[in-house]
Structure 1
């Protein structure tokens, strides 16, 4: 992906959110051709020359100081995640080659940890939101990951390319936006990742919703929150998710789902857990039709 183009579009999209009046700047007559701040207005508010800001927005100032980035971020009202994204784009880590990254491996001890969490759906996300490992309850709740090819075990692909995801996530729009926001955050961290470019290209071709979200240039790291899931066997389950970065590999994230004690969601999750345990004890693979999201590779046009 073109790091300079990413920086330009990101800053343009952030400028569009801020009005000159918000900064106490006087706006003199004439119709403005673009929404939000002009470059020279932002430069004035940040205390830098207009020429310098233009070069910054075009990605031609790799030695930009953190003080200037902070000043620009303050004017634009950037969030903590947006500030990190700006710094990565404006001051990139130099890499000598563009090469495919090595396959991520899961430590045996980590898989044992997942398997020991009988009452908590848990899984590990890797680069580009690939699902690298999971426990029995996560497979029962979300998808029969073992039956999917490794390339299919990718959250954005599942959300945008499998129609069943819209039934599984009652608030599909929020889940879709969240997955794109994190993927964009990852793109700022690794703009030279060719597999990320392939994924973005595939999703852009087959999903107009993905194209729309990607064009917003919103960024948000994956941390914690709530999510509602609708499982076709047990019904609605409201979960609280927590995301922990794993030591030894900063690109691996442990995600856990918990439910409110004594709630309908806890009752439904326990019912699903008992079914999953019985299915496992039977010694056979899970019925693919029992998991609606996803049940198979989506048919692409």
Structure 2
């Protein structure tokens, strides 16, 4: 019977489907402590809801929104067991910790699938920037949801989380990788805006990002980290001649366009007039390249 089931043991529970199977087995074994008040049926249903919510084909933005609403509500109801009519019914913390990790893994798979469809390097910059920004927001939203659920100041009706709040280290590493990719794409876009087609060809700009082409950049684990680091090193080495060219171009932009234009406006004393439009526009254009100034050799 279900009396022999150790609910705090998560051995063999690697994905959400395993968790649903665990509670299905408890239900199958009949009544007992594990199914008091219909607890096992309730949990089996809730985990299946989680699987359904995380397995949809929505946009990254929609998933981020769902994370703060439906998925958050399901997790709260699992942890609190408010809807289970059994005194002392609880969901063991080691089990909740594993459940949260598996949700994080499902979100990672969701993002990997999205970027496998669109590509990280060939997608037009505006779309890539938007997708990456949304993906980073999704990761951070998950950190907030999981952190709120397990913090000492949690406002839900569930039990007090013991010890430190849950931190999804794998999701943190994925967030960092997404931010690195976003920086790379911004650099690529800024270079294409700053350098003429001829200069781009001369510096083989098309090949600059080729070291990332075969990378599964969102597969963040020990095995792939070394190949990613290698691709970054290759990219940095290739950037050498490009950076020299950038320094010259930015200097020329400053000297020939921006400084004289701003100086002329200041001298005329018409900062508020229409004549201030030109330097403002130049500053707007220049801000596009400001991202390059964060590179050590250029700054």
The normalised TM-score by structure 2 is 0.29
The normalised TM-score by structure 1 is 0.29
Higher helix share: 2
Higher strand share: 1
* Bigger-Rg structure (1/2): 2
